[in-house]
Amino acid sequence: MRDVALLTDLYQLTMMQGYYQNGYADKDAVFDLYFRKIPSGGGYAIAAGLEQVVEYIEGLQFSVDDLDYLKGLNLFAEDFLKVLQDFRFHGDIDAVPEGTVVFPYEPILRVKARISEAQLIETALLNIVNFETLIASKASRVVAATGGGSVMEFGLRRAQGPDAGIMGSRAAFIGGCQSTSNVLAGKRYGIPVSGTQAHSWIQCFPSELAAFRAYARTFPDQCLLLVDTYNVLKSGVPNAIQVGLELEAEGHPFLGIRIDSGDLTYLSREARKKLDAAGLKHAKIVGSNDLDEHTITAIRAQGAAIDSWGVGTHLITSKDTPALGGVYKLAAEGKDGLFEPRLKVSENISKITNPGIKKIVRFYDQQGKAMADLIALEDEQFQEPLTIFDPIQTWKRKTLTNFKTRELLVPVFRGGKRVYDLPNLKEIQTYAQRECDSLWDEVKRLVNPHHYIVDLSPKLFELRQSLLLEISNSVEKVSKTMK
């Protein structure tokens, strides 16, 4: 990762200086990173971005140029700039592994460090985790919509800049895409690359047939032809069949065709008939053209004969939900390893935080299906039978028996040193698929999915309620004093 010490909001640095100048720099703090709403109206999200978080933390230091720039702002004291000169992260980070299925309010990343250190890294962590989790989650929905078909991620040209294009390709692969058109992402992360040709290629030759033959000569074993430049059924498919048969006669496999416009259901079905009648039953049909999970579902329901899907804009931008909205909130503060829980109160109930040092416990039935999650305090243990309840609608209760448990957060940094072995991207993708398989189909519905249970443990619920009451009483006293 590039020089990123200044990849932060200005107020993180001004708060850091304030901590130092007011004697708070060595205070310890615990922050939780979580999101409040599942993107795209889905039933789950896929955590992503941890590898880039690791790269950021390991490379976090201020260069001479960084310090000169900060000095030129005339905001920062000389003694504080000297502190930044030797800055390194010395804290602890726990996180869910990339590819883990996650839900709102669960701390998918937890930072325990001196408050000045924890404050500085907030913006970068949110930047990384918000985007990659968003795209991985969207990709998972798109892949699910194909019902087992393959998805090629074609989003680079529509991404919001080069970094979004590259990291979006990575996240889309975690979410289940099988390849990308992004060559740099392919090189950097080992993602299979795929692509055909543009309409301009077809237009540059005297005829569509000549263009197809030229491409077949150039790539005889990787020939997949774009058939909608002029007319799919009257020109494109017949010419593709002719070239495909010529290739097969020479001992080369004909891969198939891509349709990038028009009624994909009708055109693919008719194209399939023509390919099969010509003896090219093995040739694949790729569909593209501003697809998302909903259009793919509708096209498949109408009987489209599409084997693979090229998805670009709607995937790489998560067009229907372009931001995850993850937050990073103080949960505890203290000194010398002794922490006091902290709570943020809001008139908006969704913005009230969960206090204390927490973990996520997932409960599975004996078949390995996820039944529920509990956000619990770090030292809690659970035994059967266990009755859990909704923290808002507390009358909604469920008793769990005969379960297996798993704690989702794993140590990543201890004392600023990495203690976690990063898996490769294919391993993350495989793990993400297992995570999705652990969910009931009702949770994975694209529209109106079943609400997966995420409750607070009784101990955490009681702590939250007591702090809410304590803060309310304190505010009331101040209000009376001011009158």
Give the Cα separation of 133 and 99 in Å (integer): 9
Q: Specify if 115 maps to a domain.
A: yes
User: Are 169 and 323 within 8 A, CB to CB?
Assistant: no
Backbone conformation region of residue 464, classed left if phi is above 0, alpha if psi is from -120 to 50, else beta? alpha
At which of 316, 335, 360 does a domain end?
A: 316
For residue 93, report the phi and psi dihedrals to the nearest 5 degrees. Answer: -135, 130
The verdict on 280 and 330 lying in the same domain is no
In the chain, what is the straight-line distance between the N-terminal and C-terminal CA atoms, in Å?
Answer: 55
The verdict on 53 and 172 lying in the same domain is no
Q: Specify if 352 maps to a domain.
A: yes
Q: Specify if 4 maps to a domain.
A: no
Here the CATH number for the domain that contains residue 253 is 3.20.20.70
Q: Which two tokens stand for residue 196?
A: 């055909």
The H or E element spanning position 315 is: helix 313-316
Q: Specify if 427 maps to a domain.
A: yes
Burial readout 216-243 (b: 16 or more C-beta within 10 A, e: otherwise): beeeeeebbbbbbbeebbebbbbbbbeb
The per-residue pLDDT for 483 is 62
The verdict on 34 and 140 lying in the same domain is no
User: Are 317 and 155 within 8 A, CB to CB?
Assistant: yes
The per-residue pLDDT for 482 is 66
The verdict on 435 and 409 lying in the same domain is yes
The verdict on 301 and 347 lying in the same domain is no
For residue 230, give Cα distances in angstroms to 197, 214, 227, 280, 386. Answer: 15, 17, 8, 22, 65
Residues of the chain with pLDDT under 50: none
3-state secondary structure of 34: strand
Does the bond joining 385 to the residue before it have cis omega, within 30 degrees of 0?
yes
Here the CATH number for the domain that contains residue 55 is 3.20.140.10
CA-closest candidate to residue 361, choices 341, 382, 343:
382
Residue 81 structural domain: 10-135+322-473
DSSP 231-297: -IIIIIHHHHHHHHHHHHHTT--EEEEEE-SS-HHHHHHHHHHHHHHTT-TT-EEEE-SS--HHHHH
Count structural domains, the chain.
2
Give the Cα separation of 297 and 193 in Å (integer): 25
CA–chain centroid gap for 80, Å, is: 36
The H or E element spanning position 464 is: helix 458-482
The H or E element spanning position 360 is: strand 358-364
Q: What is the DSSP letter of 411?
A: E
CA-closest candidate to residue 239, choices 215, 263, 264:
215
CA-closest candidate to residue 215, choices 232, 195, 233:
195
The verdict on 328 and 451 lying in the same domain is yes
At which of 316, 343, 371 does a domain end?
A: 316
At which of 301, 316, 331 does a domain end?
A: 316
The verdict on 350 and 458 lying in the same domain is yes
The verdict on 285 and 342 lying in the same domain is no
Tell me the residue ranges of DSSP E strands in 116-174.
150-153
- What does the longest C-alpha to C-alpha distance in the chain come to? 94
The verdict on 379 and 450 lying in the same domain is yes
The verdict on 326 and 341 lying in the same domain is yes
The verdict on 373 and 454 lying in the same domain is yes
User: Are 265 and 302 within 8 A, CB to CB?
Assistant: yes
HSE (CB half, 13 Å, CA atoms) of 406?
17
Q: Specify if 259 maps to a domain.
A: yes
Q: What is the DSSP letter of 193?
A: B
Q: Specify if 480 maps to a domain.
A: no
Q: Specify if 201 maps to a domain.
A: yes
Give the Cα separation of 50 and 200 in Å (integer): 40
The verdict on 306 and 333 lying in the same domain is no
Supply the angle between the helices 122-145 and 425-437 in degrees, to the nearest 10: 60
Spatial neighbors of 22 by CB under 8 A, at least 6 apart, are none
